[in-house]
A and B are shown apart, each in its own frame.
Chain A
Amino acid sequence: MAKEISELTLQDDVRYAEDHEWAKKEGDTIKIGISDYAQDQLGDIVFVELPEVDSDLKKGDEFGTVESTKAVSELYMPLSGKVVAVNEALPDDPEQVNKDPYGGGWMIEIEPSDPAEFDAMMDKDAYLEMLKGL
């Protein structure tokens, strides 16, 4: 059973993208993962495929795939930048994305190339409004 919108955990300290990725500023870098809504819709996640460190990716580029028992879905960059780290724990422990989407389930860390892109992302309230419209 999918969660009701009111049951979703939506953090205040991250920004959201239309494709349900989140981005969180940590000093000069930004961490990226998928929202509680996205993990809930996908169901049990069994595999996460991440990019190579040092990849230069533009906003909207595919940075990996996430495979649940139902489907394989693409992950899209919510903002442009260079990948400086990937969550090495995910290939062996993909359930982290279900259990802790904003913490242990983070996917990549990037050096953003255009900080304005981060500011243009949705905050919690805007994202919640978007979800209500779905």
Chain B
Amino acid sequence: MRYLPHTSEDVAEMLQAVGAESLDDLFSTIPKDCRFTGDLDLPPAMTEWDLTNHMAELAGQMAAWPKCKVFVGAGSYSHNIPASVPYLLSRSEFSTAYTPYQPEISQGTLQAIFEYQTLASRLLGMEVANASLYDGASALAEALLMAIRIARGKKTTVAVSKLIHPMYRQVVQTYFDPTGYKIVELDYLPDGSTDLSAVAGMDDLAAVAVQSPNFFGCVENIQAVSEAAHKHKALSVIGFTEPLAYGLFKSPGSQGADIACGEGQSLGIPQSYGGPGLGMFAALQKYVRSMPGRLIGQTTDKDGERGFVLTLATREQHIRREKATSNICSNQGLCATMTTMFMASLGGTGIRKVARLNRDKAEYMKSELKKAGLEIPFERPSFNEFVVKFPEGYESTYQKLIDRQIVAGIPLECHYPELADHYLLCVTETHSKADIDALVKEVTP
């Protein structure tokens, strides 16, 4: 499917067909006070080469590889992407992978999404994954709304861990503000995991949501979360920002999760200065009809040949209007395809090996920092991120390092005011031992 802009002749022909004299005439049913008049406030048009320079200048303001050594994850992770991924993705069949409105005509697109769903459910240990949502934050918000839907609106409170990515919690708040549903935050324990004790005293609970590994990089006890939720007939919602961790740690599905949802960027999608992402969303089969988004299924055609169909889209907005399960009527086709190619290129063994490498390198840096006399305040096991408490006045060292193109973590104080001088650091397979040793030397008090 190709997208070409309309020429003025096309526009004139279409206007004639519908019997409108002009575009203004066509839009005349839109009330005047809803329409924008005047010129759009846009800068003058640039030439192609001016625009390229402009974009390069903007990009140059960012601390990114390879110019900088960046020890930051916090929701966006630097990982090696096999050359097969960008090569395959450059094929035009994939690079215009929007699901068309007569989806079955695009068997290749549907098959790619079907493979994505299969790999996503395997990695997360869940029974069914949808064709993807936009990003990890909206996936979490959708999961919580789904839990309330499953409770048939009779239970309208969700318990959300404070160790879920702070920006994801903001997105959840935005989704929930107009609904009247209630969000209760669960505090964290000194070991860096979510304190579930408050769940016991809550009624009206539709879901308990934690992230694992959480925002401090700590692996949560998902089994305990699921048990606490199920005791209240609430759903266990497990979020994530770093799904590669499940190459090494137990999957949400194997520990009682009802819904697993989060960000898929780390599986083969470049960081791209912050976007786009991939909302991964998986659940138990029994909840499939309450799930947002769409689902591709495998079937056989009249000749007995394998084929793919849009199995579940009947609950989407374009069919069901205000009764839709979600406002998300599309998926991240291109990013989901990238992730599929990444997972298929690495295979189960490869994913495990890369995950192992992440964990080992992060553990190495952790132990070197401890040797250097720095404090690692949270003792829960971690994957490729962890919190370090630096001595008072570290901020000036941090700034000096940035001037030298080294980003030594992100400060946590802006999200957790009680955590002054605490920084979240990330190490992946893309950091060499020399990078790690150099950083440790720089930050040793």
Contacts and interface: CB of A to CB of B under 8 A. Distances in A.
B323 to A, nearest CB: 7
A69 B314 CA distance: 8
B315 interface: yes
Given A67-B289, A67-B314, A72 B319 contact: yes
Nearest to B309: A69
Main secondary structure of the interface of A (DSSP, over half): strand
Interface residues of B, number: 7
B320 interface: yes
Nearest to A74: B323
A47 interface: yes
A52 interface: yes
Contacts of B152: 52
Interface string B269-302: 0000000000000000000010000000000000
Contacts of A71: 314, 319-320
A74 B319 CA distance: 13
A56 interface: no
A70 B315 CA distance: 10
A49 interface: yes
Contacts of A67: 289, 314-315
Interface in A61-103: 67-72, 74
B63 to A, nearest CB: 48
B323 A70 contact: no
Best-buried of B314, B315, B319 by chain A (most CB within 10 Å): B314
Contacts of A74: 323
A47 B319 contact: no
Contacts of A49: 289
Nearest to B324: A72
Interface string B301-345: 000000000000011000110010000000000000000000000
A50 to B, nearest CB: 11
A74 B314 CA distance: 12
B36 to A, nearest CB: 35
Contacts of A72: 314-315, 319-320, 323
B321 to A, nearest CB: 11
Contacts of B319: 71-72
Most-contacted residue by chain B among A69, A72, A74 (CB, 10 A): A72
B99 to A, nearest CB: 17
A80 to B, nearest CB: 19
Nearest to A51: B152
Contacts of B314: 67-72
A74 B323 CA distance: 9
A47 B323 contact: no
Interface in A40-55: 47, 49, 52
Nearest to A46: B314
A71 B324 CA distance: 11
Contacts of B323: 72, 74
A74 B315 CA distance: 11
A68 B323 CA distance: 15
A69 B299 CA distance: 14
A68 B314 CA distance: 8
Contacts of A47: 289
B307 to A, nearest CB: 15
A62 B289 CA distance: 17
Nearest to B316: A72
18 contacts: A47-B289, A49-B289, A52-B152, A67-B289, A67-B314, A67-B315, A68-B314, A69-B314, A70-B314, A71-B314, A71-B319, A71-B320, A72-B314, A72-B315, A72-B319, A72-B320, A72-B323, A74-B323
CB-based closest 6 A-B pairs: A72-B314, A72-B315, A67-B314, A72-B320, A71-B319, A71-B314
Interface of B: 152, 289, 314-315, 319-320, 323
Given A67-B315, A72-B320, A74-B323, 11 more contacts: A49-B289, A67-B289, A67-B314, A69-B314, A71-B314, A71-B319, A71-B320, A72-B314, A72-B315, A72-B319, A72-B323
